[in-house]
Each structure stands twice: as C-alpha cells, then as structure tokens.
C-alpha cells in the first residue's frame, strides 16, 4: 500500500509545472518515513514521475488554442525545427532530463510544441531512474533525518528564483521570432 500511495504522491508532484518539490526529496522522505526498499522506491518514483510529466505535456497540448496566433506560428516553427534536428535535440533533451534541473517547464513546452512524447518520456525515465537511485542511495548510506536540511534548501531564494526563471522562459519562448524572414533571391 505504501508504494501505491507513494506513486500517487509522486504523480501529483510531477503534474505541477512550477513550484513543486523535487521528486527526489519525496523519495528520500518516503524512504525514511516508510522504510521502503530502495530499488522498488526508485522504480516506483521514476515510473510515477514519468507518467506525471507526460500527462502534464498532454494537458499542455490542449491549451495551444489559447496561445496568440503569432506565438502559435512560432511554436509551429519550433516544431518543424525540432523535426529537422531530431538527433541533436534528443541528445540535448536527454542531457537536460538527466540533470537535476526542474523539468516541468520542459514538458509544458513539449506539449505546446507537439513534439513526440515517447522519446522524451524514455529519456526522462532513464535520467530520473539514475538520478533518483543516486539520491536514495546517498540518503540510505548517510542514514540521517534530512527533513531540516531539505526544508531549509527548498525555501532558499535561489530555488524560488530558478522556478520563476524557467516559468518566464516558457512564457517568452513562444513570442520569439522562430521563423527566418524570406531571403531575396540571389541576383
């Protein structure tokens, strides 16, 4: 039952595009609170986080019609750019997803741009499984209560600023001119 509750919590946290706690914190707290098996904990966390982020991207797709026409044209241009540069973009996305940076904004953007979600989901799952395993292993080895440390880190201004910066980037990106103006024919 604890694993099911954990997955529901992680899924809910992963649905939050900004200001949600990092899932690794939820996993570490669950490890200490419920004394869960680290391997099952990481597997459940990675599955639920991936499902939540993919759901977030799918929900974001339904808001595309609320985006102004000019921004929608830019989103279409980004979509075509990504289709034509798939390998390089997949490598960049995989690198971003493996890092501990917030990923909610990435999945909102992926939904708005209508990128293929399966490769993004696979990269996210692998990256999160690796990073969650590192966090849970470190917490298991350390064997100390992390509540005070985590609470202090979460309330830091740099963490709030990072979330706001990523939110602003997501709001500004569709407004950028992604299409090149037509070039005059060579004389």
DSSP 109-134: HHHHHT--HHHHHHHHHHHHHHHHHH
pLDDT band for 86, please (50, 70, 90 cuts): low
Q: What is the pLDDT of residues 19-75, one digit of tens each?
A: 888 898 899 888 888 888 899 999 999 999 999 999 999 998 888 777 777 777 777
Higher-scoring residue by pLDDT: 10, 175? 10
Q: What is the pLDDT of residues 90-142, one digit of tens each?
A: 665 666 666 666 788 788 878 888 877 888 888 889 888 988 998 888 877 77
The pTM of this model reads 0.69
Q: What is the pLDDT of residues 139-179, one digit of tens each?
A: 777 755 555 555 566 566 766 777 778 777 777 767 777 66
């Amino acid at each position: 039952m604890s694993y099911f509750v954990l997955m529901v919590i992680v899924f809910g946290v992963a649905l939050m595009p900004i200001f949600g706690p990092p899932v690794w914190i939820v996993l570490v707290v669950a490890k200490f609170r419920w004394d869960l098996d680290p391997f099952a904990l990481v597997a459940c966390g990675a599955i639920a986080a991936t499902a939540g982020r993919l759901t977030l991207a799918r929900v974001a797709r339904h808001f595309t019609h609320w985006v102004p026409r000019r921004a929608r044209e830019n989103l279409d241009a980004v979509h075509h750019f990504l289709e034509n540069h798939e390998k390089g973009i997949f490598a960049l996305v995989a690198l971003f997803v493996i890092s501990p940076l917030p990923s909610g904004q990435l999945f909102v953007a992926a939904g708005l741009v209508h990128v293929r979600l399966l490769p993004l989901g696979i990269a996210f799952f692998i990256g999160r499984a690796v990073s969650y395993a590192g966090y849970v292993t470190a917490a298991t080895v350390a064997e100390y209560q992390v509540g005070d440390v985590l609470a202090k880190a979460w309330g830091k201004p740099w963490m709030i600023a990072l979330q706001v910066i990523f939110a602003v980037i997501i709001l500004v990106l569709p407004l950028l001119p992604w299409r090149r103006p037509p070039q005059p024919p060579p004389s």
